[in-house]
Structure 1
Amino acid sequence: MGIEIVSKPEALLYEGVDWDYDKIKRVYDAVEHIALKEMGLTVYPNQIEVITAEQMLDAYSSIGMPLMYKHWSFGKHFARDEMLYRKGYRGLAYEIVINSSPCISYIMEENTMTMQTLVIAHAAFGHNHFFKNNQLFQQWTDAEGILDYLEFAKAYISQCEERYGYAAVERVLDAAHALMNQGVHKYPKKRSLDLRLEQKRERERQEYQEQTFNDLWRTVPKPTAGQRPPKSVSERKKLLGLPEENLLYFLEKKAPRLEHWQREILRIVRHISQYFYPQKQTKLMNEGCATFVHYTIMNRLHEKGMINEGAMLEFLHSHTSVVFQPEFDDQRFSGINPYALGFAMMQDIKRIAEEPTEEDRQWFPELAGSGDGMAALREAWANFRDESFVLQYLSPHLIRKMKLFSVRDDAEDPYLLVEHIHNERGYRSLRKMMARQYDLGFLEPDIQIVDVDLAGDRKLILHHRVTNGILLDESDAKAVLRHIANLWGYEVQLVEVSAVSEAVLKEHAVTAPSGIV
């Protein structure tokens, strides 16, 4: 007769709802062990800061970055969010996490101890692992240099305000912020700069500017006999690097009437916009990764006897609220919840790797039955963005489980048509359509600078290539064009053209401003 040895459960990390720093340290150590040793995650060093609700609102308003420069729009967002929070119309996030090294996680002092545990698992290890390992973040961000760069940017803009006046600086920032979505390089040209060297580079650029700016942009006289004829349109575009989709970059480098400090502010806003570009392309994956990590870690803590049933029930209540997906006919439905879809896809990848069906083997021959679900997830987290992730991993099983279908809404047809459902014919179409919902090339307008005659009237010409039949809003387009004209210093024209036929659909123009200074 054998003797069964029952191991004693490990001591509880905490009891009750109240937290203190000793409990947080014990929880952090336990979570770290599971994340690194059992799940195989790799992370930046962590820095966890406890803040108040008001400080969380302040972090909201400045796009979640510490050491941010001052701008009126941040105060506007703070006032709006605070009003909604105080009246109970909106809750606050349990955490904010910064893609930096060390990775900074803000947790609210109003959280219970269980929520602090969840947040540490979610942000300090889930998001942190994704930030460090995803290829987009490796290509575009400098986690070790961003905090130093923000400190430089804040000090530089503050100096400009003292020297040139708040109104002049605010006008440049207003224009730059209006162009943030069109102020990124979408394809890597070279390795990202070391942001810690930007202060030194700024001084070098200023010295170079003083030596070359006037000669480069002096007014060109009318050609006389014997002079070289004007360059052709193709030569001119080649010299200026046109077409150019990064509007902030072109204006920073080519706008003839900007002073050095104004160009540097455009560069600061452009760097910050570029820093957030990977996050815009990976929201589904990033949140899905963090949600899967916190779910796995919290369950392991409970299995090991380190949190009790009361803490587990509190966690499950919060978790199910986060991943809740209303049905299409529910009044609360507002689209696909990225937490719900991301978490479901992470669980599905693990299932396919460890317990595949025959259908899984047909759709995912390399993944199905590979045996190590965490290895498959780590590979997906490292090598995909939202669009390609959905195209690669959204399975027929999950399409059925989530009851996905597509509806065709034709403006000329009074009826809606259910075009694709979760069946053999619809799986691939639904997967492509779902992936397109995360394609920034489809969601954001394709606007490029296509021409400018520097020897003539210097009118800046932009094209909006219309791919989905939706034209720009008239008032918004004019407002943004005025910002561009303020930076450029001359007339600006935006032409909306069909990406299929090249036909001109609409034109917008703003006359030359009086200047930005």
Structure 2
Amino acid sequence: MSAIANSDNLLYKDSDWTFDLLQRALEACEDIALNDLGLNVYRNQIEIITSEQMLDAYSSHGMPLMYRHWSFGKHFARDQNMYQKGFTGLAYEIVINSDPCIAYLMEENSMTMQTLVMAHACFGHNHFFKNNYLFRQWTDAESILTYLDFAKKYIAKCEDEFGTDEVEEILDAAHALMDQGVFRYNRPPKLSESERLEKIQARAEHERETFNDIWRTLPQQSESETESEERQTEVRNIKLPEENLLYFIEKASPALRPWQREIIRIVRNISQYFYPQKQTQVMNEGCATFTHHYIMNELHRRGQITDGAIMEFLHSHSSVVFQPDFDDQRYSGINPYALGFAMMEDIVRICTDPKEEDKDWFPAIAGSGDWRSALKDAWANFRDESFILQYLSPTVMRHFHMFALGDDAAKSYYNVDAIHDERGFRQIRDQLSRMYDLGAREPNIQVTGVDLSGDRTLHIQYASYNGRKLDKKTRDAVMTYVKRLWGYDVKLDEAEA
């Protein structure tokens, strides 16, 4: 039952928004998020943008600062064409993992939608960014905007000095290898905030001396002895095999000049920044969707939004969590919003009203009543693969009508390998979790050897996953980029993992 809404208690009365109404709604959402759900968030910064600005943000990975590259314009033109023809819609918001946490809201949104997306982005995503272990270990929310500002200016000056074509050639090659430009398991020691900013400032000073000294006709294109020795020491400390291909090329390539190494470093740092998001889409969107659903319903219960507003919200929410059946023309896989939200709602049910099977599957939380702590523990300590393996319940598998098929290429039929029984549920959960393992989606390519004192041939190896081979056309195209950055011969071997 909702509280009886009166005009004094309502956050807003119609669909039009103002900045004062946005502030009032944000404070109401914040009260529920912090004092009821107990969320822990970065400071919030909200910016209102147009649909064209939203498209522009799409094209550059949603970042407020980004260097120029032709691929961003290509993405913008494609998305704009699809949007104008009505083939696709736009997100209601984009949120940046930074401190403060930046949320872009579209000016076309109604006041109800603005309230919804603030609850979704400013508290759901924000809490997940700040607390999930992958983001805590692999990203630095406080310095990302400073670093992007440095990167944008640095690449712009490289274009001025060396020409757009030369810079674009390095960027093209580095972008082609972005997925192989991250540390997945081993990582170098993390710099403190002061050390990181000090290095950025040192590079900026070097950049100023290199590009702005009016007494030089050409910038310095070779390393100093100190810089060269420092880099060579890093190369000697790299233990093979090395999973981060861009890192190895940046440090060890005999052909790259200092400014080219810096551009490669920029690309791989940005790739590393997005690495946790690739592993937590179900959890991140599930956390944000659960949070906005709880906050909007609580606002209605308190009488702070009208019945019309809650109906508008529910219409949008049901579209977000809609999961088409496998034989529906709209089916394109499992909707991460739908699966994440369903699993988090199910955790609440298991904690407050468990079935007998839940007590066997989830003895640690079944009937505990403390669903807030259970959710916050899951949001902090799991990624998609492990979250599904730990928390996917028979109830959710029944709701999604999940089953498992065995596909043998030598046979003309499928086998139904898992049905709705104890063994089948556990097999389905195991197989679904493995679908969210990045190893199943991205090729495992590592540097296995190099002859720096001889012919300088670089040896890399692809470890196939479940017998999957690299696509020949794509492989040959990417190898061209590897050779461009390395400067000498590169040999690729394929082996079974």
How high is the TM-score relative to the length of structure 2?
A: 0.92
How far apart, in 2, do the equivalents of 1:348 and 1:332 lie? Answer: 25
Match of 2:440 in 1: 442
Query: What displacement does 1:198 show?
Result: 3.7
* Aligned counterpart, 1:196: 197
Match of 1:115 in 2: 113
- The structure with the larger Rg is 1
Aligned to 1:329: 327
Q: Which of the numbers 397, 409, 412 marks the counterpart of 1:411? A: 409
Say if 1:242 and 1:450, in contact at 8 Å, map to a contact too: yes
CA offsets, 1:246-297, max 9 Å, x none?
0110001000111100000011111100000011111100000000000000
Aligned residue in 2 for 1:502: none
Are 1:50 and 1:107, in contact at CA under 8 Å, matched by a contact in 2? yes
Q: Which residue of 2 aligns with 1:467?
A: 465
Distance 1:202 1:209 in 2: 13
Does the CA contact (< 8 Å) of 1:13 and 1:307 recur in 2?
yes
1:210 corresponds to 2:191: no
Tell me what 1:388 maps to.
Answer: 386
Given that 2:282 and 2:339 are in contact with CA atoms closer than 8 Å, whether structure 1 keeps it comes out as yes
Tell me how far apart the structure 1 counterparts of residues 375 and 189 of structure 2 sit (CA, whole Å): 26
- The one-letter code of the counterpart of 1:70 is R
Query: Is the contact made by 2:97 and 2:126 (CA closer than 8 Å) also made in structure 1?
Result: yes
Q: Counterpart of 1:407 in structure 2: which amino acid?
A: L
* Aligned residues of 1:130 and 1:382 also touching (Cα < 8 A): yes
Which of 278, 288, 291 is matched with 1:290 structurally?
288
The RMSD of aligned alpha carbons is: 2.1
Q: Deviations over 1:480-513 (max 9, x none)?
A: 11111011001111111122xxxxxxxxxxxxxx
In structure 2, distance between residues paired with 1:369 and 1:251: 53
The answer to whether the 8 Å contact 1:408/1:418 transfers is yes
| 1:215–1:427 CA distance, 2 compared to 1 (3 A) | closer
Do the aligned partners of 2:150 and 2:204 also contact (CA within 8 Å) in 1?
no
Contact 1:139 1:188 in 2 (8 A): no
Confirm or deny that 1:17 pairs with 2:15.
yes
Structure 1 equivalent of residue 214 of structure 2: none
CA 1:294 to 1:217, structure 2 compared with 1: closer, same or farther past 3 Å?
closer
TM superposition shift of 1:402: 1.5
| Cα distance change, pair 369–171 in 1 and its aligned pair in 2 (3 A) | same
One-letter code aligned to 2:37: M
In the alignment, the residues of structure 2 paired with residue 418 and residue 370 of structure 1 have an alpha-carbon distance, to the nearest angstrom, of: 36
Q: Is the 8 A contact 2:124 2:289 kept in 1?
A: yes
The residue type equivalent to 1:144 in the other structure is: E
Per-residue deviation, residues 41-92 of structure 1 (Å, max 9, x unmatched)? 0100000000000000000000111110100000000001000000101100
Distance 2:102 2:49 in 1: 12
Equivalent runs, 1:324-403 vs 2, <5 Å: 324-403=322-401
Secondary structure, counterpart of 1:419 in structure 2:
strand
User: Which residue does 1:46 correspond to in 2?
Assistant: 44
Q: Does the residue aligned with 1:451 lie in a helix, a strand or coil?
A: strand
What is the DSSP-based 3-state SS (H/G/I as helix, E as strand, rest coil) of the residue aligned with 2:446? strand
Post-superposition CA distance 1:437-465 (Å, at most 9, x none):
11112221110111111222211111100
2:64 paired residue among 55, 63, 66:
66
State the secondary structure of the residue aligned to 2:224: helix
2:274 and 2:199 mapped to 1: Cα distance?
18
Match of 2:254 among 250, 256, 265: 256
Question: How far did residue 110 of structure 1 move?
Answer: 0.6
| TM-score (structure 1 length as normaliser) | 0.89
CA contact (8 A) 2:5 2:305 kept: no
Distance 1:371 1:238, change over 3 A: same
The structural deviation recorded for 1:302 is 0.6
1:280-322 per-position Cα deviation (integer Å, ceiling 9, x unaligned): 1111000000000000000001101111111111111110000
Contact 1:142 1:192 in 2 (8 A): no
Which ranges of structure 1 fall in alignment gaps of 5 or more residues?
1-5, 219-236, 500-517
1:205 deviation in Å? Answer: 8.8
* Partner residue in 2 for 1:85: 83
User: Which is worse superposed, 467-476 or 285-294?
Assistant: 467-476
Q: CA deviation at 1:20?
A: 1.1
Q: Give the AA of the match of 1:306.
A: Q
Please list the CA deviations of residues 110-156 of structure 1 after superposition, one character each: whole Å capped at 9, or x if unmatched.
11111101000000000000000111100011101000100011011
Unaligned segments of structure 2, at least 5 residues: 208-219
Matched residue, 2:54: 56
Structure 1 position 373, deviation (Å): 0.6
Which residue of structure 2 aligns with residue 141 of structure 1?
139
Measured in 2, the distance between the counterparts of 1:250 and 1:190 equals 12
Q: 1:353 to 1:191 in 2, by over 3 A?
A: farther
Aligned equivalents of 2:40, 2:156: Cα separation in 1? 37
1:146 and 1:196 in contact (8 A); partners too: no
**Equivalents in 2 of 1:80, 1:309: separation in Å?**
38
Quote the sequence identity (%).
60
Separation in 2 of the partners of 1:192 and 1:216?
18
* Corresponding residue number in structure 2 for 1:34: 32
Aligned partner of 1:135: which letter?
Y
Q: Which residue of 1 aligns with 2:102?
A: 104
1:248·1:270 contact (CA, 8 Å) conserved in 2? yes
Residue 189 of structure 1, CA deviation: 3.1
Given candidates 228, 246, 265, the residue that maps to 2:263 is 265
Letter in 2 for 1:467: Y
Q: 2:429 aligns with which of 420, 428, 431?
A: 431
In the alignment, residue 199 of structure 1 is paired with which amino acid? Answer: I
Moved more, 297-306 or 467-476: 467-476
1:425 is paired with a residue whose SS is helix
Report the counterpart of residue 210 of structure 2 in structure 1. none
When structure 1 is superposed on structure 2, of 183-192 and 136-145 the one drifting more is 183-192
